[in-house]
Amino acid sequence: MHDLLPAALDELGLTVCPVPSGAGQEAAVRALARCMLAGRLEPWELTFRIHQRYGNELPWQGGSRNSVTRTPS
């Protein structure tokens, strides 16, 4: 089954991201975020599912976790 899935998804024109990869994790989180924005998932459910799956180890894009970007007022 696992051997057939990438070829089938490619045939449909869908992107295949291995789940353990950073791209796969990002794709999964983005899919959950789209569900929340569409109203199919509550914000607390989004954070719960992400934390349940990845804990505190989800790769952070855009610099240090402790840095805060502020816009001058």
pLDDT digits (tens, 9 = 90+) for 24-71: 778 888 889 999 999 999 999 999 998 888 887 765 555 444 444 445
pLDDT at 15 over 50: yes
62: left (phi over 0), alpha (psi -120 to 50) or beta: left
Q: Has residue 28 been placed in a domain? A: yes
Q: Has residue 63 been placed in a domain? A: no
Largest CA distance in the chain: 55
pLDDT at position 50, please? 87
DSSP secondary structure letter of residue 8:
H
Q: Has residue 73 been placed in a domain? A: no
Q: Has residue 64 been placed in a domain? A: no
DSSP secondary structure letter of residue 14:
-
Q: Has residue 27 been placed in a domain? A: yes
Specify the higher pLDDT residue, 5 or 12. Answer: 12
Q: How many domains does the chain have?
A: 1
Q: Has residue 46 been placed in a domain? A: yes
Q: Has residue 30 been placed in a domain? A: yes
pLDDT at position 35, please? 94
Domain coverage including residue 41: 15-54
Q: Has residue 71 been placed in a domain? A: no
* Neighbour-count burial of 39, counting CB atoms closer than 10 A to its CB (0-12 exposed, 13-18 middle, 19+ buried): exposed
